[in-house]
Chain A
Amino acid sequence: MVRKVEKDRIKILATGNKTLSGFTIIEILVAFFILAIAALAFSSLITDSSRSINLIEERFLANNIAENLALKNLVKDDYLTSSQYDEGEETFLGMPFIWERELATSVERNRIEIEIKVFSENGDLLGKSKVFKEVFAQ
């Protein structure tokens, strides 16, 4: 007798509310899919921030190279060759860079304009520096 009542209660509990229903598998799949997209967006955020710090570092180093080369050309004559255009490679703090040097002479003002441009290995311009060197007529 007692058992019968118990069984009935369980039956009532299980089927009591006919409107109650869980998510269907399709709904769960869609939810997971959306979650996955959000996670993907988050991961792209991480790579973005690491890329921007790399860019900042590259620019900082490239500008340092440009300034160094420009000043070296300024204070030492043997860095200055007669060719108007020169280029080379430089490693700075373990990172490779490519530099270009262009000379422009201004006869009236007795000076040489030295411009250094520094590029990444892919050819992106990262930094430049320009100095004027006084030349005295011989």
Chain B
Amino acid sequence: MKGLSLIEMLIAISLFALLALLGSSLLNISVSSNLSIQEKNDRLDKLVLLNKYLRQDFTQSVNTIPRDQMGAYELSTMELNSSDSDEILLRLIKLSDTDGLEDTGALRKIIYKLDNGELIRESYRYIDNEDPFQSEILLDDVDYVDLEIFFENVSYEAWPISEEIFFDSSLPEAVEVKIGFYDLSIFNKILLVNYG
């Protein structure tokens, strides 16, 4: 029986080393690409969710009549950038899609606010509740949120424009939500509210 010669062994080992190097770099690449894919996926997920929430909240905040806990009726309203508190971006008071007979309640208040780079959506069961019944962080690393409100061919920064219009027609035609991230990228979304 003849074994491998030293040269053959050296060749085999060096080949193995090359392959091992290739394998380890492949592993490295796959781990890093997996990380970046996951990061992208997370961001996409969050944006899709944000899209869904914004659309749902804006289109359902039509001019219906919400109630407070005592049962008193109040006007359905949309407040954008006009709150006394700086961090609250939009406050929507709206009727939910249930009939109010279930314990989820038909009357809700939705607040979007920016707090330490986090875009938070809070939902309240009744319009005069102090604590949110649900609070969710929608996005991280948010630098600013700008709103542009479209109403009869004019853009506004805040809504309601005046008390008069507030009672006359409480909803704008469309709203553009512009979200600026710390990495300087911008995501914007236009939502129809009460057009046509």
Contact = CB atoms under 8 A, between A and B. Distances in A.
Contact of A60 (B1, B36, B47, B191): B47
Contacts of B40: 53-54, 57
Contacts of B150: 75-76
B30 to A, nearest CB: 5
A46 interface: yes
A67 B189 CA distance: 8
B75 interface: no
Interface in B1-50: 1-4, 8, 11-12, 15-16, 19, 22-23, 26, 29-30, 33, 36-37, 40-41, 44, 47-48
A56 B189 CA distance: 18
Given A42-B26, A46-B33, A56 B11 contact: no
B188 interface: yes
Contact of B29 (A21, A43, A56, A77): A43
Nearest to B195: A75
A19 B192 CA distance: 83
A39 B196 CA distance: 59
Given A14-B1, A68-B190, A75-B195, A93 B26 contact: no
Interface stretch (B90-98, B163-171, B179-187): B179-187
B190 A60 contact: no
Q: Is the interface on chain B under 10, 10 to 19, 20 to 34, or 35 or more residues? A: 35 or more
Given A60-B48, A75-B174, A76-B150, A25 B4 contact: yes
Q: Is the interface on chain A under 10, 10 to 19, 20 to 34, or 35 or more residues? A: 35 or more
Contacts of A91: 186
Contact of B15 (A28, A50, A78, A93): A28
Nearest to B31: A46
B69 interface: no
Interface of A: 14-15, 17-18, 20-22, 25, 28-29, 32, 35-36, 39, 42-43, 46-47, 49-50, 53-54, 56-57, 60, 64, 67-68, 71-72, 74-78, 91-94, 134
Interface of B: 1-4, 8, 11-12, 15-16, 19, 22-23, 26, 29-30, 33, 36-37, 40-41, 44, 47-48, 51, 150, 153, 155, 173-174, 176, 183-192, 195-196
Please provide the 10 A-B residue pairs with the shortest distance between their CB atoms, ordered closest to farther.
Answer: A94-B185, A71-B190, A75-B150, A75-B174, A93-B185, A25-B8, A68-B190, A46-B30, A53-B37, A50-B33
